[in-house]
Amino acid sequence: FFLDVSAYVLTQLDARQLPEGAKADPVAGQKTFATLCVACHGPEGKGMPILGAPDLTHPNAFIYGSSFAQLQQTIRDGRQSQMPAQQVLQGNDRVHILAAYVYSLSRQEQPAEKE
Helix/strand number for the chain, H first, E second: 5, 0
Return the percentage of the chain with pLDDT > 90, whole number: 30
Domain ranges in the chain? 2-105
pTM of the model: 0.72
pLDDT 10s digits, 53-98: 999 998 888 888 888 899 999 999 998 878 899 988 888 888 989 9
Q: Domain 2-105 class? A: mainly alpha
- Residues in CB range of 100: below 8 A, 6 or more apart: 10, 13, 18, 22, 23, 24, 29, 68
d(CA 83, CA 74): 8
Higher-pLDDT residue of 109 and 69 is 69
